[in-house]
Chain A
Amino acid sequence: MTTDEGIIYDRSLLGVENHIGTFKLTRETILNFAKSTGETDPRYIGDENGEGEIVAPATICNIFVSGVSRPDIKLEFGEISFFAGQAIECKAEIRPDDVLSASTKLDNVYAKTGRSGKMVFAVWETHFKNQNDTTVALVTESFVRRNKSR
């Protein structure tokens, strides 16, 4: 644990890759994802009978990122936390029956002061590769901790 610009957290976690799982992506999963998000693009849902070649929407990796338990960075700041933002870089097409392997690392921890006071951001980067070791997506998520308004 260390202090970095006044932020106390477990700095030994910075940049350390953690394997978070291997996921087989079925055609059914892609179709369910597309249906739940109201997708109408035939690239993702196939023809009117749900047949034909499809690819996964680029954001499908999110279903594997959500709810992943990450190492506790032991951040000594703030009373509440929330999901602040996310970026997804689409590196290659994701197809039915791909087997995706994901690893995540703590990329950065930094403080910012806004109207509601000081906030500390923890940024995690999650890397998805397919069965051919090709990177298909890079997901960056920011989580914020701050004190409750008084």
Chain B
Amino acid sequence: MNEKLYFEDVDIGDEIGPVTRTVSDEEVIQFVSIRDEKVTPSRFTSKEFANSEGLDEAIVPGAMNIALMSQVLTNWSETVCLLKIDVVFRGTVPHNKDLVFSGIITDKDETGESTKLECDIVMENSDGVKLVIGTGIIALPNKP
């Protein structure tokens, strides 16, 4: 994580990441069990169940994917304030495989009325296939 980023430090075209990580079976079970104390087999937690729905393997829940996408932005710097994230699910996200997250700044409010920045964000598999794409709006503080 960058220590402290300020609005004046960032320009259109600046890159965020890439960050590579995996999501383990245990993390998915822990995520699902936050809401449902008793985790029953589902497409998210059981390969067999996922197979019965025509999926090759258990998948990461959409709600978890958007949390991971937002982390790319909030972990960019401790000063990032996430205002909005908007994602489109393009493909299923597998457990235990490398996922590559990255972003790029696409717009900067130069009016002086806010310190908002817009960015594109993407989650890809190790073959470069886009699994989740989206946009984010963040704010950074002005330099003291």
- Nearest A residue (CB) for B35: A63
**Secondary structure class of chain A's binding surface, majority of residues:** mixed
Q: Nearest-CB distance from B68 to chain A (Å)?
A: 6
For B, the interface residue count at a CB cutoff of 8 angstroms equals: 30
Task: For the complex, give the distance between the alpha carbons of A97 and B63 in Å.
Answer: 22
Q: Are B66 and A41 within 8 A (Cβ)?
A: no
Q: Are A59 and B21 within 8 A (Cβ)?
A: no
- Nearest A residue (CB) for B21: A38
Number of chain A interface residues as a range: 20 to 34
Q: Are B89 and A88 within 8 A (Cβ)?
A: no
Report if B88 contacts A (CB, 8 A).
yes
Task: For the complex, give the distance between the alpha carbons of A41 and B70 in Å.
Answer: 12
Report if A35 contacts B (CB, 8 A).
yes
Of the stretches B7-15, B76-84, B104-112, B113-121, the one at the interface is B76-84
Q: Are B30 and A36 within 8 A (Cβ)?
A: yes
Known: A66-B61, A84-B89. A36 touches B27 (CB 8 A): yes
Q: Are A65 and B34 within 8 A (Cβ)?
A: no
Q: Are A35 and B30 within 8 A (Cβ)?
A: yes
B125: chain A residues at CB < 8 Å are: none
**Which of B27, B31, B74, B87 touches A86 (beta carbons < 8 Å)?**
B87
B71: chain A residues at CB < 8 Å are: 37-39, 41, 57
Residues of A within 8 A of B (CB): 29, 32-33, 35-43, 57-60, 62-67, 82-90, 140
